[in-house]
């Protein structure tokens, strides 16, 4: 059903991604890698030079800002302990299997292979946990299998929402996060579902 719905844009998308993939391994990656390794030093250089040009006392100002570093790091400890302990216990309990069983009828509808469902559930909870599952899947099925490619795409296309929420809000003492978790999880879900649809169109 979904295939028919996406049949028209599928060709265009396929071609677009093919073009993208062809460039992937060569130019694009070289540019991005160079950019990544130069970004931090260039940024620091520009900030300091511009500060000096604007007659900012750079050393004194650095110290003034830097003295908060310790406090911020210490401030996030309770938030981080709370969320990481809960996630760790959840993983160790084997509750993942229960969730996989509950959600698999839903994910079958969009054509997500059952093997990749644990990646989807683990991704917002723990980046390294999800990477472990992805690695395991690629060992079993091969990195260039559909499952391997899909799992890789899923890993890259969403974030560890719970960690980010705990750390970011923790640093400023926010306890009532309101709709941020819901919005973050909606973003994650759409990312994961789109990963399935896009991978089926491109690699399927």
Partner 1 sequence: MNYIWLGLMVIALVVGAINGRIDAVTKAAVDNAAAAVEIALGLIGIMTLWLGIMKIAEKGGIIRILSRAIRPLARFLFPTIPSDHPAIGAMLMNLIANWLGLGNAATPLGLKAMEELQKLNKSTDTATNDMATFLALNTATICLIPMTVIAVRAQLGSANPFEIISTTILASTCATIAGVTAVKLLQRLPSIKKSDPNHQENISPSKEEGHHVG
| Contact assessment for residue 114 and residue 104, using Cβ atoms and an 8 Å cutoff | yes
Whole-number Cα distances in Å, 161 to 147, 174, 203: 23, 16, 28
Q: Binding of partner 1 at residue 100 (CB under 8 A)?
A: no
Query: Using the rule CB under 8 A, which residue among 27, 50, 109, 114 binds partner 1?
Result: 50
Q: Binding of partner 1 at residue 34 (CB under 8 A)?
A: no
In the complex, least distance from residue 23 CB atom to partner 1, rounded to whole angstroms: 9
Q: Binding of partner 1 at residue 110 (CB under 8 A)?
A: no
> Residue 43 and residue 57: Cα distance in Å, rounded?
18
Phi, psi of 126 (to 5 degrees): -150, 120
Interface positions, 139-158, toward partner 1 (CB under 8 A):
139, 142-144, 148-149, 152-158
Fill in the per-residue mask, 51 to 90: x = in contact with partner 1 (CB under 8 A), - = not in contact: xxxx-x-x--xxxxxxxxxx-xxx-xx--xxxxxxxxxxx
Query: Using the rule CB under 8 A, which residue among 120, 138, 147, 204 binds partner 1?
Result: 138
Choose the binding region for partner 1 from 3-11, 107-115, 174-182 (rule: CB under 8 A).
174-182
In the complex, least distance from residue 52 CB atom to partner 1, rounded to whole angstroms: 8
> Residue 103 and residue 18: Cα distance in Å, rounded?
32
> Residue 118 and residue 133: Cα distance in Å, rounded?
7
Q: Binding of partner 1 at residue 8 (CB under 8 A)?
A: no
In the complex, least distance from residue 117 CB atom to partner 1, rounded to whole angstroms: 16
| Contact assessment for residue 123 and residue 192, using Cβ atoms and an 8 Å cutoff | yes
Of 124, 122, 151, residue with least CA distance to 135: 151
């Amino acid at each position: 059903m979904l295939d028919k719905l996406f049949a028209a844009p599928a060709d265009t998308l396929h071609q677009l991604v093919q073009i993208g993939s062809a460039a992937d391994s060569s130019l694009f990656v070289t540019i991005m890698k160079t950019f990544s390794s130069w970004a931090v030093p260039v940024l620091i250089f520009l900030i300091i030079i511009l500060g000096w040009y604007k007659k900012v006392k750079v050393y004194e100002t650095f110290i003034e800002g830097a003295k908060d570093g310790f406090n911020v790091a210490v401030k996030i400890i309770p938030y981080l302990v709370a969320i990481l302990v809960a996630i760790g216990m959840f993983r160790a309990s084997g509750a993942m299997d229960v969730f996989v069983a509950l959600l698999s009828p839903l994910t079958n509808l969009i054509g997500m292979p059952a093997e990749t469902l644990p990646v989807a559930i683990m991704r917002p909870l723990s980046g390294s946990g999800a990477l472990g599952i992805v690695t395991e899947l690629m060992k079993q099925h091969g990195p260039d299998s559909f499952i391997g490619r899909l799992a890789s795409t899923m890993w890259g296309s969403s974030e560890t929402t719970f960690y980010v929420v705990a750390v970011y809000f923790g640093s400023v003492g926010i306890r009532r996060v309101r709709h941020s978790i819901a919005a973050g999880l909606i973003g994650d879900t759409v990312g994961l579902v789109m990963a399935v649809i896009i991978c089926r169109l491109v690699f399927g």
